[in-house]
Amino acid sequence: MGHSTSIEEVKKHVKTYYMVFGALMVLTVVTVAIAYLHLSIIPALILALFVATIKGSLVACYFMHLISEKNMVYLTLGITMLFFVFMIGIFIFAYYGQEGVYVVP
C-alpha cells in the first residue's frame, strides 16, 4: 500500500473494512452455532477449521492488505506456510506411525 494511494481510494477501502467487519461478526456466530450442533469430532473439526480459515483469510487479505501485496512478501509467506504445513502434517503422520498406535475412530 504505497503513498500514491489517493484519499478517494482510501475511502473505498474504509467501506470494505466495515463489510469485512460485518462478515467476521456473522462468521463468529456461525462458528459458535456449529459447536452447539454437537457433531462428532471429524465433521466438527473440518467445519470449525473451514470457518476459521475464511475468517483468517479475510483479516489477512483486507486488514493486512495481503490481497495487493508485493511478490517478495508472497514468496516469504509461501515458504513459511509450506513449512507450517510440513510440520503439522509430519507430526500427525509421525504420531500414527508409532509402533503400537492404532487409529481410534
Partner 1 sequence: MDIPYTVEERPDTGLNNAKLGIWLFLASEVMLFGGLFSAYIFLRIGAPEWPGTMAGQTFATSFEVLNVPIGTFNTFVLIASSVTMVMSWASLMMKDFKKYKLYMGLTILLALAFLVVKGFEYGGKFSAGMFPSESTFLAIYFTLTGLHGLHVIGGIVVNAYFWGPGAKMWETDPDRFTNRIEIAGLYWHFVDLVWIFLFPTIYLL
Partner 2 sequence: MADSEKDHGHHHEESFIRKYVFSTDHKVIGIQYGITSLLFLLFGFVLMMMMRWQLAYPGEPMPLIGWMFGESTMPDGVMLPEFYNQLGAMHGTIMVFLGIVPLAVGAFGNYVVPLQIGAPDMAFPKLNMASYWVFFLGGVTMLISFWVPGGAAKAGWTSYPPLANIETTGQTMWLIGMIFLITSSLLGAVNFITTIIQLRAPGLTFMRMPFFVWAQLVTSFLLLLAFPPLEAAGVLQLMDRVADTSFFMPTGLVVSGEVMNLSGGGSPLLWQHLFWFLAHPEVYVLILPAMGIVGEIIANNTRKPLWGYKSLVYSVIFLGFMSFIVWAHHMYITGMGTAISTFFQLTTMIISIPSVIILSALFLSLWGGSIRFTTPMLFALGFLPMFGIGGLTGLPLGLAPPDIHLHDTYYVIGHFHYVVAPGTIIAMFAGIYYWYPKATGRKMSDMLGKVHFWGTIITMNGIFMPMFIQGMAGVSRRLYDGGQLYDLAEPVLHWNEFMSISAWLLGLFQLPFIWNFFYSIKKGEKVDDNVWEATTLEWTATTSPPLGHGNFEVLPQVYRGPYEYSVPGAASDFIPQNDPEEHQSVAEEA
Which three cell numbers, joined as nine digits, stand for 38? 454437537
Radius of gyration of the chain (CA): 19
CB of 99 to partner 1, least distance (A): 14
CB within 8 Å of 76: residues ≥ 6 apart: none
Amino acid at 88: I
Q: Which of residues 38-57 bind partner 1 (CB under 8 A)?
A: 38, 41, 44-45, 48-49, 51-52, 55-56
Using a CB cutoff of 8 Å and minimum separation of 24, what contacts does 47-53 make?
A: 51/27
- Which residues of the chain form contacts with partner 1 (CB under 8 A)? 1-3, 5, 7, 10-11, 13-14, 17-18, 20-21, 24-25, 28-29, 31-32, 34-35, 38, 41, 44-45, 48-49, 51-52, 55-56, 59-60, 63-64, 70-73, 76-77, 79-81, 83-84, 87-88, 91-92, 95-96, 101
